[in-house]
Amino acid sequence: MDFKDLTTEQLEEAANMLKAIAHPMRIAILGYLEDGKKLTVTEIHELLKIEQSTTSHHLGILKDKGVLCSKREGKNTYYFLKHANLSNIVNCVSKCTMG
């Protein structure tokens, strides 16, 4: 692939996705959503020990920018990765912080 072929719109969409991911809490959230896992807002807020409404905000940002999808089932809303390979991004950048 040749990135020089990306349009301005595609560059901005890509930037928006990365901007959505580029936050410690949101990276941690993605860490829990590998391999097609689906979690509710409450589960994530308990796992990460952050305010429930703050959790919802972060999930909303990730969904809005095309990183996550959500599906309501009864009282709960389950969140999960829109593209499986988005885990690679977190994977890759994490590797860089370790080596």
Structure tokens at 3: 């990135």
Is there binding between residue 91 and DNA (CB under 7 A)?
no
79 beta partners: 39, 70
Smaller CB distance to DNA: residue 55 or 99? 55
CA distances to 59, 61, 78, 85 from 34, rounded to whole Å, are: 15, 18, 14, 9
Residue 92 interacts with, from its own copies, DNA, none (CB under 5-8 Å by kind): its own copies
Is there binding between residue 47 and DNA (CB under 7 A)?
no
Where do contacts with DNA occur on this chain (CB under 7 A)?
19, 23, 25, 40-42, 45, 50-54, 56-61, 70, 72, 74-77
